[in-house]
Amino acid sequence: MKKIVIVGGGIAGLAAAHRIQEELSNQALECTVLEAGPAFGGKIGTERIDGFVVEKGPDSFISQKPQAIELCKKLGIGDRLVGTHPTNTNTYVYTGGRLVTMPEGLSLMIPTQFMPFVLTPLFSWPGKVRMGLDLVLPGKADDSDESLASFVRRRMGREALRKMAEPMLAGIYASDPETMSIKSTFPMFFETEQKYRSLILGMLDRKRKMAGGRRSSPYTLFMTLKNGLSEMVDAVLEKSPGVTFRSGVKVAQVSRAENGWRLDLENGENLTADAVIFATPAGISASLLEKVAPRVAEGLGKIPYVSTATVTLGFRREGFEHPLNGFGFVIPRAEKRRILACTWTSSKFPHRAPEGHVMLRCFVGGAKKEALAEQDADAMLQMVKEEIRDTMGIRQEPVMSRVFHYRKSNVQYHVGHAGLIAGIEDELKAVPGVFLAGSAYTGIGIPDCIQNGGRAAEKVLEYLAGADPNQSGKLAS
C-alpha cells in the first residue's frame, strides 16, 4: 500500500485528491489530505446569510480555461453552473470623479473595434493616438521578461497603463504593475507581440480565427455555481470517499523516513508517506521543507505575498440610489481612492441576493495599499461605506455586511518569476517524493489551480509507479 499525503486543503490540494481518488480502484493507494484550518477550500468559501450568497474569496472562474467546468462535470454538478446575466454587461472605470463605461471591443486593454474606441470618453485624444501607434511600433528585440508597466508603456502608452492596465490587469493580481511579470501574468500579450509585433493586429487576427471556428458555447466568460463556489468543494469531499480528509490538523515538521517521508503533527501524531504534495502557500511550504530541502525552501521563500480584503454589502432595493446597470467598476491608483474595485454582484450573477435586495462587493489592499486591508473589520466597513458614497452616491445603510481579511495571502508574480520557478523545479530533482502545487507557481485562478493540482497528482502516480525520480518532482505546469 503506497501512502500519499497532501498538505493543504485548498482547491489545488482538493483537485489533487480527486485525481488520486480516480485511481484508487486500480492501484493500492492510501491518500490523506491535511488542512490546518477549520474548513476545506482555501480562499473558496460561501456563506448564506438571510438569502444573500456571500463569497469569501473568488466569486467565479473563467470558462476559457476549461478545467473548473470539467471538474464540475466529473463531480456531477455541471447542471449547477450559472453564467453572468446576459443584459447590462457594462464595466466601468472610475476616472475624473465619475464612472465611465469601457468601450465595446476592448479586449482587456487592446482595442479591436474602431468606432467605440474613437468615441469613448475614457481616453483623451493624445492617449488614443498613442495607443494606435502600436500598429507601427517595432516589436521587442529579445524575449526577456519585463514588468507589465514597462510592456504597456512601450506598446500602448502611459494613459493606457494608468486607466486600463493598472486597475484592470494589475488589479486581478492585486499587484504593482511596475514589478509584476508580463510573462507569468499575461503571457498572451508577450506571445502576441513576439508573433505579430503589434498587439492590435494580433488581437484582431485572433478574434477573426475565433469567430471562424466558433461554435455556440453554453457558457459566459465568467461562471459560478448556483449556491456559491463552496458547492465545488463540498462535491470533491463527497465524491472522494477513498480519501481521508482531516481539517484542523497542522503539520509541525517534515523529515526523511526510511522509505519516504515522516510528517510530525502539532497534535503529537506522526504520519509516514511515500510521496507528499505540498499544496500550501509558498512561505508555509518553505518553512516545512527548510531542513530537508533547504535549496527548494530558499527559492520558495523568494515568492512574495500581499494582504487584501473584501467587503460585501447587501441593501434593500427600494430607495437604492444607484441602478447597478453593469458588472461593476475598477479604480486607477491615480484617483487616490481607498478601494481597488467594486463588483455589483447581484447584477452580475443571478441567485445572489434575496427578492427586493441588491448586493455589491468591494476590494481593498494589494501592493502599495496593504495597510488598508489590515484594518479591523469595523474600520474597514466604515471606510468602504464612505468610498461607495463618494463614488456611487450610496447613502443607505446596508442590511447585511461581511468583511473577509486575507493577510499575506495573495501571491505576487514579480519580473523573473518563471526563472525562479524553473530553479525550484531543478532543485526538486534532488528531493524525490516531494511535489508542489497551488497558486504560487503557474497561475492564480481556480482553473489554473485545478490543473496544477491534478498534474501534481499525476506526477505522484508516475513516481509511485516507478518513474524516474529525477523527473517526478517537477512542478506541474
Q: Is residue 69 part of a domain?
A: no
Q: Is residue 51 part of a domain?
A: no
**196 and 325, same domain (yes or no):** no
Cell of 233: 468543494
- Between these two residues, 105 and 297, which has the higher pLDDT value? 297
> Locate cell 502545487: which residue?
437
Q: Is residue 453 part of a domain?
A: yes
Q: Are 341 and 171 in contact (CB under 8 A)?
A: yes
Q: Are 248 and 36 in contact (CB under 8 A)?
A: yes
**294 and 325, same domain (yes or no):** no
> Three-state SS string across the chain, please?
CEEEEEECCEHHHHHHHHHHHCCCCCCCEEEEEEECCCCCECCCCEEEECCEEEECCCCCEECCCCHHHHHHHHCCCHHHEEECCCCCCCEEEEECCEEEECCCCEECCEECCHHHHHHCCCCCHHHHHHHHHHHCCCCCCCCCCCEHHHHHHHHCCHHHHHHHHHHHHHHHCCCCCCCEEHHHHCHHHHHHHHHHCCHHHHHHHHHHHHHHHCCCCCCCCEEEECCCCHHHHHHHHHCCCCEEEEECCCEEEEEEECCEEEEEECCCCEEEECEEEECCCHHHHHHHHCCCCHHHHHHHCCCCEEEEEEEEEEEECCCCCCCCCCCEEECCHHHCCCCCEEECHHHHCCCCCCCCEEEEEEEEECCCCHHHHCCCHHHHHHHHHHHHHHHHCCCCCCCEEEEEEEEEEEECCECCHHHHHHHHHHHHCCCCCEEECCCCCCCCCHHHHHHHHHHHHHHHHHHHCCCCHHHHCCCCC
What percent of the chain is predicted at pLDDT more than 90? Answer: 90
Strands across the sheet containing 222-225:
61-62, 222-225, 81-83
β-pair partners for 225: 81
Domain total for the chain?
Answer: 3
Distance of CA 9 to the CA centre of its chain: 16
Tell me, what CATH number does 240's domain have? Answer: 3.50.50.60
Tell me, what CATH number does 364's domain have? Answer: 3.90.660.20
Confidence of residue 212 (pLDDT cuts 50, 70, 90): low
**263 and 357, same domain (yes or no):** no
Boundary residue ending a domain (361, 381, 411): 411
Rounded mean pLDDT of the chain?
94
pLDDT for 171-182, tens place per residue? 999 999 999 999
**299 and 418, same domain (yes or no):** yes
**289 and 349, same domain (yes or no):** no
Residue 391 has pLDDT above 60, yes or no: yes
Confidence of residue 216 (pLDDT cuts 50, 70, 90): low
Residue 375 has pLDDT above 80, yes or no: yes
Q: Is residue 77 part of a domain?
A: no
Q: What is the pLDDT of residue 473?
A: 46
Confidence of residue 214 (pLDDT cuts 50, 70, 90): low
Q: Is residue 76 part of a domain?
A: no
Q: What is the pLDDT of residue 217?
A: 78
Q: Is residue 386 part of a domain?
A: yes
**185 and 263, same domain (yes or no):** no
Length of the chain: 477
Q: What angle do CA 58, 62, 64 make, to 5 degrees?
A: 165
**422 and 391, same domain (yes or no):** no
Q: Is residue 94 part of a domain?
A: no
**400 and 438, same domain (yes or no):** no
β-pair partners for 48: 53
**111 and 204, same domain (yes or no):** yes
Cell of 437: 502545487
- State the average pLDDT over residues 13-27: 93
Domain that holds residue 117: 106-213
Q: What is the pLDDT of residue 411?
A: 97
Residue 210 has pLDDT above 90, yes or no: no
Please, which residues have CB within 8 angstroms of residue 386's CB and are 6 or more apart in sequence? 338
Tell me, what CATH number does 110's domain have? Answer: 1.10.3110.10
- State the average pLDDT over residues 118-138: 96
The secondary structure element, H or E, covering residue 410 is strand 400-411
**267 and 246, same domain (yes or no):** yes
**205 and 110, same domain (yes or no):** yes
Mark residue 222 as left, alpha or beta (left: phi above 0; alpha: psi -120 to 50; beta: remaining): beta
Boundary residue ending a domain (388, 411, 434): 411
Q: Is residue 53 part of a domain?
A: no
Boundary residue ending a domain (181, 213, 245): 213
**363 and 238, same domain (yes or no):** no
